[in-house]
Structure 1
Amino acid sequence: MLRYITRRIVDLIPTLFLVAIIVFLITRMIPGDPASTMLGPQASVEEINNLREQLGLNDPLFQQFVDYVKQLFQFDLGYSIAYNRPVTELILERFPNTIVLTLFSLILSLIIGMTAGIVSAVKRGTFWDYAFSLISLIGVSIPVFWLGIMLVLLFSVYLGWLPSTGMGSMQNGIVDYFSHLILPGITLATIPMATFSRITRSSMLEVLEQNYIKTAKAKGVAGWLIVVKHALKNAMTPILTVLGMQVSSMLGGAVLTETIYSWPGMGRLIVDAINRRDFIVVQGTVLFLALLFVLINLLIDLLYTVVNPKVRLTKVAK
């Protein structure tokens, strides 16, 4: 186990280095001059040139990349001129908001999605199976940006039940906090919810056909006990695989959701940085998210050994 974890951590270095190269090149391809965008249309040519010199934009592209890598080895993600703050501070300020939204959406999608999948598998071929399968198909097909706008129109504009933008504050009470969380949470959870439902159904159907399940039924074990204790536990491996992928996609999908609802998280930070041509913030946030993706995948691999003791990660590491 320790050897496997060590190897995966070492593998982080080339992965993140590749991400750093790609992000660095893409940010340099963004149309427009960052210095001109940051200073505005009233800035003089001299002011723009001074800022370009300060940002190192006048240096050759290779030299800019070398300076950027040197900063990374010093655990320095750079300094944002647009926000006039270090990128690390911006990430630490916005990341907890994204985590709150992601965790809420993940819990919502797991509870509803897995429950629907279990019911569909147990009630195979019935009305509930067809109904949940149809809803799941619609759920994975709905674009996030369209769903977010429709939810705002329905629950905020027409009905007036929920706030449309912003993040609530616990100082105004727990009701205000969660009322701001519901719409973006549902928007972000819809696709993972449908995905968990479909994967849980297919995995449960496969397990329910196993001989040990039939033996348990023959011995008179209660149906709910068979489903929860025996079938669901052995069906968790593919669900865990999808879990890691969905958490990563939810962190990435938060860009659209946070923009629609003006949620002050990492996704909104990236969009604002792109609009301001603040490539230093874009580089830092994307690299930070890439690190999270790799760590999440490592955590999911470790959870395999808890769910399925037959998995031995130490053998994989050899």
Structure 2
Amino acid sequence: MARRVVAVVPIWWVVASIVFVLVRLVPGDPVLLIAGTDASAEQVREIRSSLGLDLPVYDQYVRWFGRLLHGDMGRSLFSREPVARDLIDRVPVSLQLALSATVVSVLIAIPAGVVAAARRNALSEAAFAAVTMTGVCVPSFVMGLLLMLVLSVYAGLFPIRGYEPLSQGVVTWARYMVLPAVAYGLIQAAGVARMTRSTLLEVLGEDFIRTARAKGLAGWVVLYKHALRNALIPVVTLIGLNVGVLFTGAVVIETLFGLPGLGAFLVTGILKRDYPIVQGAILFISTFLVLVNLAVDLLYRAIDPRLRRA
């Protein structure tokens, strides 16, 4: 495990370098957007020089990476605000959405998957397949629009759009976060439920489960103490990956519900060719995904004693 932790450092460096290169391969010149159509060639050169974009790419990389090692992600080419400060303001919103949606998906998916595996009959299997397939196929923005229409427009239970921070109170925060979290979580719940059912059915067919039943153990003991613990290992992987996907892929939901999160921030940076914003946002997202994968590995060992001994 120590090797896995140490391996995060070179992975992070490779990701940072790739992000730097890819951002500069995107078509378009941010200097022309800043200068405007009426700017002279001399003004364009002055702006390019002031931003350091007239330097060779290698020199730009060395300067950028050197600042990055000191926690400086640079400043926006347009607003001149520190990128790190903008990230600090926006990351909590995306993280709250991702964690809330994950809680929704887990609370729905794992019980549904366990029940579907434990009580198998033609009707329940058909219903489970229909519901989960619908969840897999329906885009998150469609689910969001449906919830918005029913619970906000017609029922008036929740605000249609907007965001209030936790500092304004949990109840106020929850009123704005429930709909996007449920819309996002329901979509993810379908895949987790299917994974839970399939892995649990596979474990229930193992020899040690038949041995436990032959010893006269109660059905719920066999299911929850022996089978579910082993079946959750691949499910944990999927949930961990979902957290990363939810955190990094919430652009549509954040835009739909007016959440000032990381996704909307990244899209704005891409449209403006704002290199520091795009680099900072993608690097943060990539680092988060690497850490999520590391956390999943650590959680494996807490779930499965065999991995702790390996």
After TM superposition, the score normalised by the length of structure 1 is 0.87
Question: Shift of the alpha carbon at 1:249?
Answer: 1.2
Unaligned ranges ≥5, structure 2 = none
- 3-state DSSP of counterpart to 1:264: coil
CA offsets per residue over residues 261-284 of structure 1, 9 Å max, x none? Answer: 221111121112222321101101
Partner of 1:237: 233
Partner of 2:98: 102
| The one of 226, 239, 251 aligned to 2:222 | 226
Q: What are the within-5 Å matches in structure 2 for residues 127-138 of structure 1?
A: 127-138=123-134
- The amino acid across from 1:310 in the alignment is R
CA distance in 2, matches of 1:211, 1:9: 35
Query: CA 1:41–1:179 in 2, change beyond 3 Å: closer, same or farther?
Result: farther
Aligned residues: 310
Partner of 1:200: 196
Q: Check conservation: 1:165, 1:261, Cα contact below 8 A.
A: yes
Say yes or no: does 1:89 pair with 2:98: no
Q: What are the within-5 Å matches in structure 2 for residues 33-72 of structure 1?
A: 33-38=29-34, 46-72=42-68
| The one of 119, 122, 142 aligned to 1:123 | 119
Q: What are the within-5 Å matches in structure 2 for residues 136-175 of structure 1?
A: 136-170=132-166, 173-175=169-171
Question: Shift of the alpha carbon at 1:101?
Answer: 0.9
Say yes or no: does 1:270 pair with 2:240: no
Of 239-248 and 216-225, the range deviating more from structure 2: 216-225
Q: Check conservation: 1:94, 1:264, Cα contact below 8 A.
A: yes
Q: Check conservation: 2:302, 2:308, Cα contact below 8 A.
A: no
Of 304-313 and 200-209, the range deviating more from structure 2: 304-313
Question: Shift of the alpha carbon at 1:48?
Answer: 3.8
Q: Check conservation: 1:140, 1:190, Cα contact below 8 A.
A: no
Q: Check conservation: 1:27, 1:282, Cα contact below 8 A.
A: yes
- The amino acid across from 1:253 in the alignment is G
Q: Check conservation: 2:251, 2:264, Cα contact below 8 A.
A: yes
CA distance in 2, matches of 1:38, 1:130: 57
| The one of 243, 252, 259 aligned to 1:247 | 243
CA distance in 1, matches of 2:39, 2:90: 30
- The amino acid across from 2:32 in the alignment is S
CA RMSD in angstroms comes to: 2.4
Partner of 1:22: 18
After TM superposition, the score normalised by the length of structure 2 is 0.89
Of 43-52 and 104-113, the range deviating more from structure 2: 43-52
Say yes or no: does 1:304 pair with 2:300: yes
Q: Check conservation: 2:244, 2:289, Cα contact below 8 A.
A: yes
Partner of 2:285: 289
- The amino acid across from 2:48 in the alignment is R
- 3-state DSSP of counterpart to 1:263: coil
- The amino acid across from 1:21 in the alignment is S
- The amino acid across from 1:281 in the alignment is I
Question: Shift of the alpha carbon at 1:17?
Answer: 2.7
Q: Check conservation: 1:188, 1:253, Cα contact below 8 A.
A: no
CA distance in 1, matches of 2:122, 2:164: 42
CA offsets per residue over residues 107-162 of structure 1, 9 Å max, x none? Answer: 11011011110011011224233212221112122222333334334433444432
- The amino acid across from 2:19 in the alignment is V
- The amino acid across from 1:32 in the alignment is G
Q: Check conservation: 1:119, 1:128, Cα contact below 8 A.
A: no
| The one of 183, 190, 197 aligned to 1:187 | 183
Question: Shift of the alpha carbon at 1:59?
Answer: 1.9
Question: Shift of the alpha carbon at 1:47?
Answer: 4.5
Unaligned ranges ≥5, structure 1 = none
Q: Check conservation: 1:109, 1:196, Cα contact below 8 A.
A: yes
Question: Shift of the alpha carbon at 1:231?
Answer: 1.6
Of 233-242 and 212-221, the range deviating more from structure 2: 212-221
State the percentage of identical aligned residues: 38
Q: Check conservation: 2:90, 2:261, Cα contact below 8 A.
A: yes
Question: Shift of the alpha carbon at 1:206?
Answer: 1.3
